[in-house]
Structure 1
Amino acid sequence: MAVYWRWTLAVLMGLASSHMEATPTWHMSDFIAALEQLELSRPGAEPSTLLHLLTRPAVQENPFLRNILGPRAVAPPGANATAPPGANGTALPPYLARALAHRVRRDGREEGVVLTGDGTTVALGPVLLGLEAGLLSGAPRGRARALFQLTLAQPLALVARAPPAPLFPDGCWDSPDSPREFRLSGVSLVGPRALTTALVHGGMDGLVLGMTLASARPQAGASLSGLLRSYYGLPLISTGAPGLRASQRRDHFWQLVGHPPLLAKQVLRALDLQLRLEARPKMKKTKRNKLVALVNAQMKEFVLRFMDCPPIVPRCMWQAAPYRGTPTLLAPPLGFLYVHHTSTPAAPCLSFQHCAEDMRAMQRFHQDVRGWDDIGYSFVAGSDGSLYEGRGWKWQGAHTLGHNTVGYGVAFIGDYSSALPVDGALALVRDRLAGCGVATAALVANYTVHGHRQLVSTSCPGDALYREISGWEHFGNVTRV
């Protein structure tokens, strides 16, 4: 009898484990799979019809969205009002409904966001609103205006009306491998209208994808799930492969925007529309001027965060182990940027998952074998389109013996004795990371770039990479006595 109960318990535990593994997480791949199931339940439905259904709850509740996209009927065209959710019905399956309902709770949890394959967190609502606006009929100019208003201008306008709200708070998932809860970090008071980094990412993606649809209508038989799967697929930056990639959202976005004043203008238009919809009296000139100044300051911060500075994957997202000991504060601005290659691992990492694994392996080696308190580098560049936070701008690293107090150490994952890192990774360090350091007063404007070998007896950063950085504008020679 005891054997029977042990066998029964094992079966039940196995079933429970299988059920847990099958439960969708808040990962983009799970959202796309749920969207694909909705498409299968509505054979022949056009993407515009499905988008109408998916965005209907948000549009019904938001006068601003209704003004641009039009009112929502109880049932979208072609829907069967008596059918159950997911089977030609008007109600969304519970998973999709939760995925599209964005809100920030007072305890810092952000809902309606998913983790994408490139390691960033994206709010889904602006993505789908951008797609729907891209399918709207009308002149291209009107489409562009609607896209700006729907994806980013209104959220920016709402924050401008209620300062001092924290701009662009970000956070971490409970588990990047199985994301189920996203919690903002580094802010004490977060309101429900907080303009989070995930909302900005969603707005950028919605604008990029919407403008793509506005200029090239989807082919017959195209699906929303297929479009999203392509855009959020493996984030390669090493080749000039055609198509859009989420890992390059910032470049795509700024190519469309052109210059920040355009976005500031759209934010002010969104604010005017919001006030009209609320039947508010026209603002006096003095108050309007103050608001314009506030929006311009907001745009300056936006440009710094999402244009001047590169995407940096925080420690929590690559699952760093805790620091051992007490970290030492740096005294910025510092004068040097020291370039390294990891040598081991020797192969470039091409995905968030691969790069995160390499980061953990290097940290284990530095802590357990070298006996250091943490991974030695300040930042690490992958070939996936992102930089990875090591000790960051704030804390002293262990990367260049005798010089750790006066500069930051940046390593490229891979062995670059005979080959170069991909162009995208080089540009991230040479232009974006260094420019961000200067803009945030972490680096002096006339900083100097050195290769590791110039200061320590080593072949690092490899012959090929050393020749490359020797041609950089800020490269400096070292005279040894």
Structure 2
Amino acid sequence: QLKVILWLILLMGMEAGFLSNTGTPKELLHLTLGRNLALTLEQNISASNRFGPDGCWDSITTPQVFTLSDPPSMLTTAQVNGGMDGTLLGMEVSNKSRKNVKLSSLLTEYYCHQLKGKGMDEAPLLISQRRKDNFRRLVLPSRLSRTTVESEELQRRLAGGSTMDEMEKGQMMGRIEEGMNEFIHMYMDCPPIIPRCQWGAKPYKGTPTNLSLPLNFLYIHHTYIPGQPCLTFEQCSANMRSMQRFHQEERGWDDIGYSFVAGSDGFLYEGRGWLWRGAHTLGQNSRGYGVSFIGDYTSQLPSQHAMGLVRHQLTSCAVGGGRLVGNFTLQGHRQVVATACPGNALYSEITGWEHFGV
């Protein structure tokens, strides 16, 4: 989360009047995202190079250097996260019911809230893990498109340029709306996924086999060991490293077997990811993604939040990104392999999910 804090502080320092008590979502969007979105979406570049990338710190416990995973676009993921947080926290500061709120307290509450009990199910609404959900509720795609055009128009006026006429404004709106779908897919529809380098993954052994997309199946697992859900990024990351060691050293696999893993800290964790064939469901690894929930769900369920990330957001992201077919089939591990996985409680739960099939 440190990269988000740094970008948020930078934005607050650069944008005059950002925390004024007269702020509205539109005004804050002008300041945090509108201008950069306009510049990015006006460029004649492919969607794959329009936004991002993300990146990773050099250390999980004592981070010093942040490195982007690929050459930067005009709007990196860190900038987008900072813009979203600036909008959300600016609205909170301008809320009259939060009189005399200390910025340090608000930032601590937002970025460093300690999850307990049922994790995200009992967590406050305004915390960084809920960034995408909160931003989606606050900003409609149509409003974001209009604000982006207005931001560009405002910048032109401030620079002494001519005002756009209605035809030029309409043409610009068309170009921006065309590219906005990619922004919405990446930063509003897809769940928060911790990349491999962020949780400390070791390299893949050998050469990974690429999947032939889109896939037809999604297979649900539980880890069984560790038996308890993880409630912090540090613990979930440690669990991921432990699983990878077991899969590589004890099982002799090339990498951690799962495509993605769901923690109870508000995040999904990238295993082999969208492109590489996993080792999660014997005989079916080229046909579908394997998603596991950290914990033993024989007699209890994962948190509602963790299940929602997989059931709704991950699947929507996969279908929208051309990784899963629209009529994909969701199955429990036990349906295709002789195993108790994903546990009786979780298996009973997923039988009621959309796309569940025999």
TM score, norm. by length of structure 1: 0.69
Match of 1:176 among 44, 60, 72: 60
The question of whether the paired residues in 2 share the 8 Å contact of 1:128 and 1:206 is answered with no
Are 1:248 and 2:130 an aligned pair?
yes
* Residue among 27, 33, 40 paired with 1:159: 40
Cα distance, 1:210 vs. partner? 1.1
- Measure, in 2, the Cα distance between the counterparts of 1:470 and 1:366: 28
Structure 1 residues 293 and 348: CA distance shift in structure 2, 3 A: same
Q: For the Cα contact (< 8 Å) 1:170–1:197, is it kept in 2?
A: yes
CA contact (8 A) 2:42 2:175 kept: no
Equivalent residue, structure 1, for 2:266: 385
Give the alignment partner of residue 324 of structure 1, picking from 186, 205, 209.
Answer: 205
Q: Does 1:124 align with 2:9?
A: yes
Partner in structure 2 of residue 451 of structure 1: 332
Question: In the alignment, is residue 208 of structure 1 matched against residue 88 of structure 2?
Answer: yes
1:406 match = 287
1:119-171 deviations in Å (ceiling 9; x for gaps): xx8443235678953433x4xxx633321111111221232344436312222
**1:229 alignment partner AA:** T
Classify 1:242/1:334 alpha carbon distance in 2 versus 1 (closer, same or farther; 3 Å).
closer
CA RMSD of aligned residues (A): 2.1
Deviations 1:446-466 (A, max 9, x none): 000110011111110000000
2:210 aligned counterpart, secondary structure: coil
1:232 and 2:98 aligned: no
Pick one of 65, 78, 89 that aligns with 1:198. Answer: 78
Counterpart residue number, 2:187: 306
SS of corresponding position for 1:135: coil
Q: Distance in 1 between matches of 2:125 and 2:266?
A: 15
Q: Give me the whole-angstrom Cα distance separating, in 1, the residues matched to 2:96 and 2:15.
A: 14
1: CA distance, partners of 2:84 / 2:284: 39
Correspondence for 2:296: 415
Structure 2 residue corresponding to 1:279, chosen from 149, 160, 178: 160
Give the Å deviation of 1:307. 1.8
Q: Percent identity?
A: 49
Write the letter of the residue equivalent to 2:108. R
Instruction: Report which of the two structures shows the higher radius of gyration computed on alpha carbons.
Output: 1
Distance 1:441 1:466, change over 3 A: same
Pick aligned residue for 1:133 from 5, 10, 18: 18
Alpha-carbon contact 1:148-1:266 (below 8 Å) kept: yes
Deviation of 1:217 after TM superposition, in Å, equals 5.0
Measured in 2, the distance between the counterparts of 1:299 and 1:348 equals 36
Query: In the alignment, is the contact (CA less than 8 A) between 2:41 and 2:50 conserved in 1?
Result: no
Alignment-mate amino acid for residue 199 of structure 1: Q
Task: Report how many aligned residue pairs link the two structures.
Answer: 352
Matched position secondary structure for 1:446: strand
Shift of 1:277: 1.3
Q: Are positions 1:472 and 2:353 aligned together?
A: yes
1:448 aligns to what SS in structure 2?
Answer: strand
Structure 2 counterpart of 1:333, which letter?
P
Counterpart code for 1:166: R
Residue 351 of structure 1: how far off its partner (Å): 1.1
Distance 2:136 2:98 in 1: 23
- Is contact 2:12–2:18 with CA below 8 Å preserved after alignment? no
- Does residue 355 (structure 1) correspond to residue 236 (structure 2)? The answer is yes
Contact 2:92 2:98 in 1 (8 A): no
Cα offset, 1:184, TM superposition: 1.6
Shift of 1:213: 1.9
Query: Which residue identity does 1:239 align to in structure 2?
Result: D
Distance 1:132-1:159 versus aligned 2 partners, 3 A rule: same
**Higher relative contact order, chain-length normalized (CA < 8 Å, sep 6+):** 2
Deviation at 1:253, TM superposition (A): 1.0
Q: Alignment partner of 2:56: what SS?
A: strand
Distance change (3 Å), C-alpha of 1:122 and 1:412: farther
Match of 1:53 in 2: none
Quick one: distance in 1 between partners of 2:161 and 2:311? 48
Q: CA deviation at 1:437?
A: 0.8
